[in-house]
A and B are shown apart, each in its own frame.
Chain A
Amino acid sequence: MGKADDVMDICLLAGEIMLKYGAETYRVEETLERMARAASFTNVHCFATTTGIFLSFEEKKEKEDLMQMVRIDDRMQDLNKVTDVNQVSREFVAGDITTEEAHEKLISIAKAPMQYPLWLIHLAAGFAGSGFSYLFGGGWFDLIPAFIAAVVSSVVVVEFERYLKVRFAGEFAAAFCGGTAAILLVYAGLGNNVDQIIIGSLMPLVPGVPLTNAVRDLMSGDLLAGVSRGAEALLTSLSIASGIALTISIFL
């Protein structure tokens, strides 16, 4: 009895981490099925959507089958953890590590803090935002206000989601604050092209992970997961758009 339970635990833990931090559904299903097969279970079936995973397998004929599910509530973007879990599952399938070692590794991945500190992420958001404001037709002089505005929107989205756990409202508030900061900076005499600066301040909020995963999932036939990812990306974009619409109608 013990082994089946242990394998079920590590499979579901691996799946939970991957799905939570932004892996595609097909990758979760494939990884879990491979891990369960590598532990010599038969009749392995896995069904994952964007918000939950079902996994079932049987240990031996004539014995009880195991079937469990986990529900995933939070969806974040941390592709480093997905890569780490991928590595652990690869080692487990190849037989390099035992079930206990895999469990320990997975727990340490789940508990690990983010790979990059928060200030670096804000700084990176600033660089990305100012870079894109230049690429979309801004001038050299617009780099600085776009940097500041992008940092503002990144800080707002992180802090908002930390204290008020409301989905999609974080992006709305961030778009509003970033846009306001951009317009105020232009009024104060920094920068010339207000449009490009606002675009730069919004770029860190782009829902890149759900967008790419939606395409991937739809392609590999996970229609349910693909459509729900696409809906998530669409709602995020709409909340950014409504945030910026509010700014424009108030200030511009």
Chain B
Amino acid sequence: MHFIAELLITFAATVGFGIIFNVPKRALIIGGAIGMCTWAVLSAGLYSGMSHVFSTALASLTAAILSHFIAKRIRIPVTALAIPGILPLVPGSRAYFTMLAFVEGNYIEGLEFGVETMLRAGAIAAGLTFALAIFSFGKGIGHRYEPNR
């Protein structure tokens, strides 16, 4: 019951973010659905005992793969789906507690929170990057040698 409520709230919040970023109307509901999937994957990862950073990376990968796939089908830029899709993962609360700890002078605690914030942000980036790598097979962005010449 609690989980279903969370999913519904994620949907509403993601659609809200879609409106903030002015995504096209036909992408709003899809973006919300992708956000819901993201949150479900994150919760499933946490529930099965994975670390928060790894679950974030998995969820971000899911969101990015879904948005690449759907964006190709309905012909809109990937960002219009990917940005609302990954927003449920943004480590807003960790970032806030980092700030709070620094303001109160607990520098060690602040550093701990700060490192975790950075790791989670990095995990989001890693998921996006990996999905991009999957979807750009054959197009080739970045080589070291030219073996086919």
Contact = CB atoms under 8 A, between A and B. Distances in A.
B6 interface: yes
Contacts of A241: 95, 99
B17 A128 contact: yes
A121 B92 CA distance: 20
A189 to B, nearest CB: 22
B1 interface: no
A83 B21 contact: no
B119 interface: no
B92 A212 contact: no
Contacts of A99: none
Contacts of B102: 245
Interface residues of B, number: 47
Nearest to A247: B103
Nearest to B96: A199
A245 B97 CA distance: 11
B99 A219 contact: no
Interface stretch (A50-58, A102-110, A132-140, A166-174): A132-140
Contact of A195 (B23, B96, B125): B96
A215 interface: yes
Interface in B77-97: 77, 79-80, 82-84, 86-88, 90, 92-93, 95-97
Interface of A: 22-24, 27, 77-83, 86-87, 90, 114-116, 120-121, 124-128, 130-132, 134-137, 154, 195-196, 198-199, 202-204, 206, 208-209, 212-213, 215-216, 219-221, 237, 241, 244-245, 248-249
Interface of B: 6, 9-10, 12-25, 27, 39, 75-77, 79-80, 82-84, 86-88, 90, 92-93, 95-97, 99-100, 102-103, 125, 128-129, 132-133, 141-142
List 4 A-B pairs, minimum CB-CB distance, nearest first: A131-B13, A128-B16, A124-B19, A124-B16
28 contacts: A77-B22, A78-B21, A79-B21, A81-B22, A83-B76, A115-B22, A115-B25, A124-B19, A124-B20, A125-B16, A125-B20, A131-B12, A135-B9, A135-B10, A136-B92, A136-B93, A195-B100, A196-B93, A199-B96, A202-B92, A204-B20, A208-B83, A209-B21, A219-B141, A245-B99, A245-B103, A248-B100, A248-B103
